[in-house]
Homo-oligomer: A and B are copies of this chain.
């Protein structure tokens, strides 16, 4: 049984894995190195790459900070309604990017709840759904549950004696957090950040729902490929996006 598994495994691997990426590479190499360089040094594409990375980085850091507080709290404390709270926290995971985009518009769009509230309070409508701000909000919405779940799982595996030992040695709550809890959670934090970053870099549904002119890389690739039929640019940028994401995931 076991010996026989090698052949199909290799076949599946070759068929599904290498072929599509090879196709991508072949097209992007159409104009040779010069083509690559022209695209990689194009100011518009570079700006788009920078925007994408900055947005993903910002989302990751914010999600991490908020999730750390909520995750530690939920992992430690036992209170009535805890299970219900955790179940509701995971709700955003159930909504695809398109729906999250839709929700952001409902919340911060022209007819959104925030706009109505701001109009009532300050007399002018707050609208940021159709910009990077809206995208940031949307990404945060589906990033936080994932990060919280990862952190909670890691925090629950932590030996409570570790903290008790540190306290017996005179460490304050803050010192326990800094010297014991955070270092112990570091691998989980790294994994959660990488996943969060990678998801934010590649998310498309939310961006597309919010507006077609948000300048993040997946949108640029879509536009290049579908509207402009610029295969070379699309393939090259896809490879860049894939390489960045893969490096982030591999680093964690």
Contacts and interface: CB of A to CB of B under 8 A. Distances in A.
A17 B140 CA distance: 11
- Measured as residues with beta carbon below 8 angstroms from the partner, the interface class of chain A is 35 or more
Interface string A189-229: 00000000010011111001100000000100110011000
A102 interface: yes
A64 to B, nearest CB: 13
Copies in the complex: 2
A99 to B, nearest CB: 4
A129 to B, nearest CB: 11
Contacts of A24: 99, 102-103, 106
Considering residues A6, A66, A103, which has the most beta carbons from chain B within 10 angstroms of its beta carbon? A103
B141 A20 contact: yes
Given A103-B24, A205-B218, A198 B141 contact: no
Interface of A: 1-2, 5-6, 8-9, 12-13, 16-21, 23-24, 27, 66, 69-70, 72-74, 76-77, 85, 87-100, 102-104, 106-107, 112-113, 140-141, 144, 173-174, 177, 198, 201-205, 208-209, 218, 221-222, 225-226, 234-235, 238, 241-243, 245-246, 249-250
